[in-house]
Structure 1
Amino acid sequence: MLLEAGASIKYVAERLGHSNMEMTLNVYVHPTDTMKKDGMNKFANHLSLALFYVIHNHKIIFQKIFRIKKTRKTTTNCRGFS
């Protein structure tokens, strides 16, 4: 319950009188439904942020390419030569 509420494993181990956190992890820690949902939400948020970052950067790159092409078109003379 303490871990599900956000307490650190170190605190829980000390509360239970365990000499190290490994014992607490081996005996008491198992993912609850709430912990699974929280983990899935964190993963989904991280994935959506990563996807946004990729899309945003590609958009910036495409905009720069478009501006370069647009600039080149405006610098050509009436015969189409640079």
Structure 2
Amino acid sequence: MRDNITLTEEDEGKTVLNADGDQIGRVVKVEHGNAHVDPDPSLTDTIRSKLGWGENDVENYRLDSSNIKRVSDDEIHLNR
């Protein structure tokens, strides 16, 4: 994990992948360096729990940068 990952508006629209490479959502907004993710409808409760995300009726979730392993041109890869 890198401590110096800072997201910008350029990261909006990127796919978010968990540590297994499964798509868990898409970045819909970046605000003050924090990504807000629209979760994939098939996202399991186990994955939500690992990310500290609650109920599945929330429109989008804040992605804590401590969960980010790396950022590529099209994707954000998580360490969980």
Which category describes the TM-score, using the shorter chain as reference length? Answer: under 0.3
* Greater fraction strand: 2
TM-score normalized by structure 2? 0.23
Rg bigger for which structure? 1
TM-score normalized by structure 1? 0.22
**Higher relative contact order by CA 8 Å / sep ≥ 6: 1 or 2?**
2
* Greater fraction helix: 1
